[in-house]
């Protein structure tokens, strides 16, 4: 093989490696199994229960959360456990890819015996909480927390909290994940550090989910 051929072969190999690396860093088209097929208010309790039970949940954590409703909670000496999870394959949502009726992006379950302070998630094995992401009129995103009562024959759902869903501006990382933390706190929990200086509500760190901008959090009202 002459020198020109060798150089050409090396260049082709380098181009292939560069293309492969570029593809791995670029968010692929992801399925959105949590996409609603109609307005959330059009779902009956049974329909919503059936829909969310068919989803697969991954990338979750169980965290200590501030609570309210008894003296130990109010004095700050008591915490409760809340599990938060993401819907599988949904890791790169952006304002431009939010489905028409929104998408169920994750689930939270209060495992304690008192109400969670920030998002008002009540205790009880019959209750689950679902994070719905929708678009907004300003080409952004909003989160809605839907409470589902799973009681057989009495299933119902209702919105208990809502706010802006904003990106942290991190590099995109593949994998659906969920947590309670700020953009800054990602540095101590194995994600890149970005400080936004947000004024956070009381009751603990905000909802945190993987999205196109690395991760997105509850940005307040």
- Tell me: pLDDT of 65 over 60: yes
Mean pLDDT of 84-110: 97
The distance in angstroms from the start CA to the end CA of the chain is 66
Interval 21-50 mean pLDDT: 82
Separation between Cα atoms, residue 192 and residue 173, nearest integer Å: 10
Taking only the tens place, the pLDDT of each residue in 142-194 is 999 999 999 999 999 999 999 999 999 999 999 999 999 999 887 544 433 22
State if pTM tops 0.85. no
Q: Which residue has the higher pLDDT, 26 or 66?
A: 66
Q: Is the pLDDT of residue 207 over 90?
A: yes
The C-alpha atoms of residue 76 and residue 202 are separated, in whole angstroms, by 12
């Amino acid at each position: 093989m002459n020198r020109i051929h060798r150089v050409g072969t090396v260049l082709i190999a380098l181009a292939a490696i560069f293309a492969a690396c570029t593809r791995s860093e670029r968010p692929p088209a992801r399925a959105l199994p949590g996409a609603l097929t109609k307005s959330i208010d059009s779902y009956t309790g049974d329909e919503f229960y059936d829909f969310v039970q068919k989803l697969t949940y991954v990338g979750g954590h169980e965290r200590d959360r501030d609570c309210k409703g008894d003296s130990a909670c109010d004095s700050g000496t008591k915490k409760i456990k809340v599990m938060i999870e993401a819907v599988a394959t949904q890791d790169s949502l952006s304002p431009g890819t939010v489905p028409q009726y929104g998408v169920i992006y994750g689930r939270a379950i209060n495992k304690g015996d008192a109400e969670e302070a920030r998002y008002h998630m009540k205790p009880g094995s019959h209750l689950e909480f679902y994070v719905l992401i929708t678009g907004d009129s300003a080409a952004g995103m909003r989160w809605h927390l839907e409470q589902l009562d799973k009681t057989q024959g009495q299933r119902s759902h209702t919105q208990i909290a809502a706010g802006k869903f904003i990106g942290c501006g991190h590099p995109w990382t593949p994998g659906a994940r969920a947590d309670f933390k700020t953009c800054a706190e990602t540095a101590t929990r194995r994600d890149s550090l970005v400080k936004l200086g947000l004024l956070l509500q009381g009751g603990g760190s905000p909802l945190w989910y993987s999205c196109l901008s690395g991760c997105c959090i509850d940005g307040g009202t």
